[in-house]
Amino acid sequence: MRNALLCVALLVVLGCLLYVSVNPGDFGVSRGEHLAFGEPKYTDMDDYFIHNGQNQTGANNIVTSIVFDYRGYDTIGEASVLFTAVLGVGVALRELRKRRDKNDE
Amino acid sequence: MMSKIVRTQASFLYTFILIFGFYIVAHGHLTPGGGFQGGAVIATGIALIAVAFNFSNVKRWIKKTHLTAAEGIGLLTFLITALIGIGTSFFYNWLANSGLIFGQRVSYGVNPGYLNTAGTLPVMNLAVGIEVFGGLGVIILYMLNYVKEVRNDAS
């Protein structure tokens, strides 16, 4: 019963995501414009980065200026993931060693 | 421990691997690469030393506490650099175009690539490079401990 409910809920979420991906609606579209169903949304985000990134950050490498400046939260996440991975490795191997010492005694 | 040829080559190549890694980190805002990639290259140097030399020697040369300290310091530097710009917004580039260190102005178009640009990006690249180097180095040392224990059990 619970599995069936879970399946239905996941299918509903999948349906919503698929609908939104093919029909983005009017979000981010300039006023007065309307997108037909299935038409990809036009954005000027990439043009903005290419034309203003060098002026605003001073970096020649647009990728670095996006990763470390415009989308810095992303990089915080990556750094935290690495930190957590190191923590996990340390905890796992330390635990292993302690258990073996106990078995030896 | 490997043969003498491998050990000599490893101690010779180690320097160049470190230099290449720091080059990638320092030029992260000009060329492809950056903190993560450069830190991984530097950690490769530690892996080379660990493969080529005796385990006890490696553990004596490369201290685990130093690497964990490097990781913590890197992450803290990254967060503090991001927090200083919080007057405008989190991750605001408060050093760019300011005329201070890393503050040289750059206009849109082709330029030869000046090192003294990009504001907080080189600082953050350096911080992330140190952090990745420490993290991957610690992982290598932990695994090395485990490998040694397995070998002792087998013999």
Q: Is the pTM of this model over 0.80?
A: no
pLDDT of residue B16: 92
In angstroms, rounded to a whole number, what is the distance separating the alpha carbons of residues A94 and A97? 5
For helices B35-52 and B4-26, what crossing angle results, to 10°?
170
Domain-embedded: residue A46: yes
CB contacts, 8 Å: B119 with chain A: 57-58
The string of pLDDT tens digits covering residues B98-121 is 777 777 777 777 777 777 777 888
Domain-embedded: residue A77: yes
Mean pLDDT of chain B, nearest integer: 82
Number of domains in chain A: 1
Number of domains in chain B: 1
Is B106–A79 a contact, with Cβ atoms under 8 angstroms apart? Answer: no
Domain-embedded: residue A97: yes
Domain of B98, in residue numbers:
4-154
Segment-wise mean pLDDT, segments of 10 residues, chain A, 105 residues: 92 90 63 60 72 80 84 86 88 69 61
Question: What is the rounded average pLDDT of the residues B3-14?
Answer: 87
Domain of A66, in residue numbers:
42-105
Domain-embedded: residue A23: no
A93 touches chain B (CB under 8 A): yes
Query: Phi and psi for A24 in degrees, rounded to 5?
Result: -70, -10
Domain-embedded: residue A15: no
Domain-embedded: residue A52: yes
pLDDT of residue A42: 59
pLDDT of residue A8: 95
Provide ipTM, 2 decimals: 0.76
pLDDT of residue A12: 96
Is B120–A69 a contact, with Cβ atoms under 8 angstroms apart? Answer: yes
Domain-embedded: residue A51: yes
Domain-embedded: residue A11: no
